[in-house]
Amino acid sequence: MHTCRDCGRTFSSELKYELHRDTCSEDTLLCRECGNRFAERRATRDGWHYRCPNDDCDAEGLGEAVVRLKDARVATR
């Protein structure tokens, strides 16, 4: 079992994991409020309004409280 460090998804084979690594951060979002990482599709229903899928967190707004993981990485370096 391979677990992605960035999004927490698990993969049954190394090949699937390797393929995933190439695209992972492309659609992985980070909540700056609670530090949660989640797939883009979990954070939005209409592709317009984004909010943290964590029930205990009410952060919302892509580019505000919710940022793309790849952008967050650049910003923190």
Backbone angles phi, psi at 19, to 5 degrees: -65, -40
Q: Does 29 help bind Zn ion (rule: CB under 5 A)?
A: no
Q: Does 33 help bind Zn ion (rule: CB under 5 A)?
A: yes
Instruction: Give the number of other Cβ atoms within 10 Å of residue 30's Cβ.
Output: 24
Cβ proximity to Zn ion: between 34 and 62 the closer is: 34
Size, binding site for Zn ion by CB under 5 A: 12
Q: In the bound complex, what is the minimum distance in angstroms from residue 51's beta carbon to Zn ion?
A: 8
57-61-62-67 Cα dihedral, nearest 10 degrees: -40
Interface residues with Zn ion (CB under 5 A) are 4, 6-7, 24, 31, 33-34, 36, 52, 54, 57, 59
